[in-house]
């Protein structure tokens, strides 16, 4: 299972949108109340999404393909522009020194996910690289946009290591790798 970075980032964007709607709406904006209500709904939805992503962490073996709609893509781009405008208009609001936007493609197999990363790398004008963590990235000043997939076996080992503890995990691996020395 990949850490739910996307769900976390969506929750943060929704929280910023609600803060903007509640505290920085123009007094003469006739849609301010509607925006605040919608922002509150989005925050609740994104919080539920994050909880669902965290609850589903253990059973992330057969992941469905992630298909974004044009509306989702448009909403994300609009949120980024709104955030940029918000930060530009308020120089007193701090910004992170470094940040990355990470996309984890979802497909039925590692090979399909790697193919999705390769396609993204081509669109980014770069080349994907890596072994267990296979990805491509493009940097915009302090911001990095990256598309990454993590090999399923690596993630399964990671979760098993966390469940058992390092020593028990290594002992289990050594036992599994040892040749059968008993009678057949």
Rounded to 5°, the CA angle 3-18-15 comes to 15
Instruction: Check residue 57 and give its pLDDT.
Output: 53
Instruction: Check residue 64 and give its pLDDT.
Output: 44
Closest alpha carbon to 115 in 34, 107, 89, 156: 107
Does some domain include residue 3?
yes
Does some domain include residue 34?
yes
Does some domain include residue 8?
yes
DSSP annotation string for 166-178: HHHHHHHHHHHHS
Instruction: Check residue 125 and give its pLDDT.
Output: 92
Instruction: Check residue 183 and give its pLDDT.
Output: 54
The count of domains in the chain is 1
Does some domain include residue 156?
no
Does some domain include residue 58?
yes
Cα separations in angstroms, 120 against 14, 100, 134, 135, 182: 26, 16, 12, 9, 50
Instruction: Check residue 58 and give its pLDDT.
Output: 45
User: Can you tell me the distance from the alpha carbon of 164 to that of 26, in angstroms, rounded to the nearest whole number?
Assistant: 54
Q: Which structural domain, as residue segments, surrounds residue 80?
A: 1-95
Instruction: Check residue 156 and give its pLDDT.
Output: 87
Q: CB-hemisphere CA count at 13 Å for 132? A: 8
Does some domain include residue 35?
yes
Per-residue pLDDT tens digits of the chain, which is 184 residues long: 455 777 777 778 888 888 888 888 888 888 888 888 888 888 888 888 878 777 765 444 444 445 567 778 888 888 888 888 888 898 888 888 778 888 999 888 999 999 999 999 999 999 999 999 999 999 988 889 999 999 999 988 888 888 888 778 778 778 877 776 455 5
Does some domain include residue 76?
yes
Q: How many helices (H) and strands (E) does the chain have?
A: 6, 3
Burial 27-57 (b: 16+ CB within 10 A, else e): eeeeeeeebbeebeebbeebeebbeebeeee
Radius of gyration of the CA atoms of the chain, in A: 21
Does some domain include residue 39?
yes
């Amino acid at each position: 299972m990949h850490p739910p970075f996307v769900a976390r980032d969506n929750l943060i964007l929704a929280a910023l949108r609600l803060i903007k709607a509640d505290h920085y709406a123009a007094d003469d904006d006739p849609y301010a109340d509607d925006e605040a209500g919608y922002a509150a709904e989005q925050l609740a939805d994104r919080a539920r999404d994050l909880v669902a992503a965290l609850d589903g962490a253990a059973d992330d073996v057969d992941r469905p393909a992630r298909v974004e709609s044009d509306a989702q893509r448009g909403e994300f781009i609009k949120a980024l522009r709104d955030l940029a405008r918000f930060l530009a208009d308020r120089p007193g609001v701090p910004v992170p020194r470094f940040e990355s936007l990470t996309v984890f493609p979802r497909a039925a197999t590692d090979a399909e996910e790697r193919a999705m990363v390769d396609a993204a790398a081509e669109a980014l004008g770069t080349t994907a690289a890596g072994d267990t963590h296979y990805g491509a990235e493009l940097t915009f000043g302090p911001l990095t946009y990256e598309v990454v997939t993590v090999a399923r076996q690596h993630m399964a080992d990671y979760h098993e290591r966390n469940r058992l503890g390092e020593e028990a995990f290594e002992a289990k691996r050594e036992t599994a790798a040892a040749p059968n020395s008993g009678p057949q």
